[in-house]
């Protein structure tokens, strides 16, 4: 009985010391800050999930802008740029390229080809462009909206091009830009799928009499990833990167307009 009391006493002392040590190590302020940070992350995650449930393809993004833009003026040869963050980043980083031209940027950051396919009617067809420049696929490879096989990406790209043609719009299919790795999902080795997807895009365009724009060859390095002078993160072009892309796509646009 004496030994039991002794052991119990020692355990209580150990617990008391441990409790005080923990209290000294994690201050109440630290605990409060951690709790607030966790609550903020949970709130943001829930808001994003709720938004996805309500408007997964983000059809509301350009609704007001599309209404304000209206139909092309007589003789206007409108060009729609359909894509993701690389496309919207284009007009943000180098707005001068779009200034004074009938170019309409409809890129949405993070989007994948199934989302863009759903957006084709409100953000492209209804705007009555002569040409649509489609630059998409890298976010599918990253798995932004779930796992995607190359066949799934190819089907969506083909459908976007077919929908454009069916509505009298000339589709320009662009190569996916080089990326050795994704900063937000490291270790995926996207360069393997990007290379294979670009081979398919080129062959599909040639087989169906469509225009193919090869940004990849002008921007890839030996790894293969994007040349460091063209990007800060290895995925999104900087100003120098866009200046490489611009004359390449304008040659294709000129060809597309001549075919109309």
| Boundaries of every domain in the chain | 2-54, 60-258
Mean pLDDT of 141-159: 97
CA 200, CA 209: separation in Å to the nearest integer?
A: 14
11 pLDDT above the threshold of 60: no
- pLDDT at 85 exceeding the cut of 60: yes
Contact 145, 126 (CB under 8 A): no
- % of the chain with per-residue pLDDT over 70: 84
Q: What is the pTM of this model?
A: 0.81
Q: What would the pLDDT profile of 222-241 be if each residue is shown by its tens digit?
A: 999 999 999 999 999 999 99
Tell me how far the alpha carbon of residue 5 is from its chain's centroid. 66
Which of residues 190 and 30 earns the better pLDDT score?
190
| Position 109 pLDDT exceeds 70 | yes
Answer whether 197's CB lies under 8 Å from 137's CB.
yes
- The share of the chain scoring above pLDDT 90, in percent, equals 78
More confident residue, 153 or 4: 153
Task: Give rounded-to-5 percent helix, strand, coil for the chain.
Answer: 60, 10, 30
Compute the mean pLDDT over every residue in the chain, rounded to the nearest whole number: 89
DSSP 186-255: TT--HHHHHHHHHHHHHHHHHHTT-EEE--HHHHB-SSSSB-GGGBSSSSSB-HHHHHHHHHHHHHHHHH
Query: Is the CATH code 3.40.50.1110 the one for domain 60-258?
Result: yes
Backbone phi, psi, residue 124, to 5°: -140, -70
pLDDT at 40: 74
pLDDT confidence band for 23 (50 / 70 / 90): very low
Question: What are 187's two structure tokens?
Answer: 């270790």
């Amino acid at each position: 009985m004496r030994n039991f009391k002794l052991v119990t006493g020692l355990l209580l002392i150990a617990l008391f010391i441990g409790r005080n040590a923990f209290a000294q190590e994690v201050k109440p302020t630290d605990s409060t800050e951690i709790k607030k940070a966790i609550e903020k992350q949970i709130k943001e995650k829930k808001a994003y999930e709720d938004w996805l449930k309500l408007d997964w393809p983000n059809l509301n993004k350009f609704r007001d802008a599309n209404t304000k833009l209206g139909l092309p003026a007589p003789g206007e040869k409108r060009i729609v740029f359909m894509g993701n963050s690389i496309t919207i980043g284009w007009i943000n980083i180098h707005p001068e390229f779009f200034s004074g031209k009938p170019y309409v940027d409809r890129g949405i950051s993070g989007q994948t080809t199934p989302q863009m396919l759903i957006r084709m009617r409100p953000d492209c067809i209804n705007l009555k462009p002569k040409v649509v420049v489609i630059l998409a696929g890298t976010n599918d490879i990253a798995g932004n909206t779930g796992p995607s096989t190359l066949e799934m990406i190819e089907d969506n790209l083909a459908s976007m091009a077919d929908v454009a043609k069916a509505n009298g719009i000339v589709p320009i299919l662009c190569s996916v830009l080089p990326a050795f790795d994704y900063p937000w999902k490291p270790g995926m080795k996207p360069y393997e799928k990007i290379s294979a997807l670009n081979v398919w895009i080129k062959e599909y365009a040639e087989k169906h009499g469509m225009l193919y724009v090869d940004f990849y060859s002008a921007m890839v390095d030996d790894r293969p990833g994007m040349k460091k002078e063209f990007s800060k993160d290895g995925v999104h072009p900087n100003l120098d990167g866009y200046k490489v892309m611009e004359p390449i796509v304008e040659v294709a646009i000129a060809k597309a307009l001549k075919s109309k």
